Amino acid sequence: MGLLIKERLMMFFRGSPSSYIIATHRTALANGLDVTLDELEAHHLCGGDPGNVITQLLKARDAGFELDWERACAIELATKGSHESLELAVDQAIHPGSHIFEQTLGNDRPWNVAIVLLYRIELSRYVGGAEIDVLEERIRHALEESYSSWRSTFEAAPPKELWENEVMSKELDSGTRLRLLGCRIVEL
């Protein structure tokens, strides 16, 4: 009995869509992805869509992002049944996002600012990584600390570039699913 017939028969007994999995395997191989039939079927049996994972792997690779089979499967399964998805994660990794929030620094000489963050989803930290609210809170805390220490040094607020460099140098995005690409502080 040929290997392909044996594989189809075994997939049938396990309740897997053999034609779909074999077609997905061919697509993966034709595009240079090293994924086995067993890996594709295992992902299907876990409740995932192996065809979607292959599509997103190719999309990420074409955009110049590293995403491996295991990470892609983990993202797809972790986001199943939520408002998130592997496709959304890959899209957010390819296209940077922005987030804006306001903050008042200091009490005796208050300084009102808007902070504009430019970020990209980091696929290697997507599952289990904290979201934008954690990054915002870290930045708020860092700015408060800096403002307190600089208050005696500067008559007015320090140069915005100094603040922006301070935020970028502290690696406040560690442990989050985001990579901070830029920070702009605007006085209100």
CA distance linking residue 41 with residue 71, whole number of Å: 16
CA distance linking residue 176 with residue 131, whole number of Å: 6
Residue given tokens 């590293």 in the structure block? 66
Number of CB atoms found within 10 A of residue 143's CB = 20
Q: Are the C-beta atoms of 22 and 37 separated by less than 8 Å?
A: yes
The DSSP code sequence of 65-77 is ----HHHHHHHHH
Spell out the per-residue pLDDT of the chain, length 188, in tens: 455 777 778 778 788 888 899 899 999 999 999 999 999 999 999 999 999 999 999 999 999 998 999 999 999 999 988 888 999 999 999 999 999 999 988 777 778 889 999 999 999 999 889 999 999 999 999 988 888 777 666 666 667 888 888 889 999 999 999 999 999 998 88
In the chain, CATH 3.30.479 covers: 96-187
CATH number of 96-187: 3.30.479
> Would you say the C-alpha torsion 77, 60, 120, 122 has a positive or negative sign?
positive
Per-residue pLDDT, 145: 85
φ/ψ bin of 106: left (φ > 0), alpha (ψ from -120 to 50), beta (otherwise): left
Per-residue pLDDT, 155: 65
Per-residue pLDDT, 1: 44
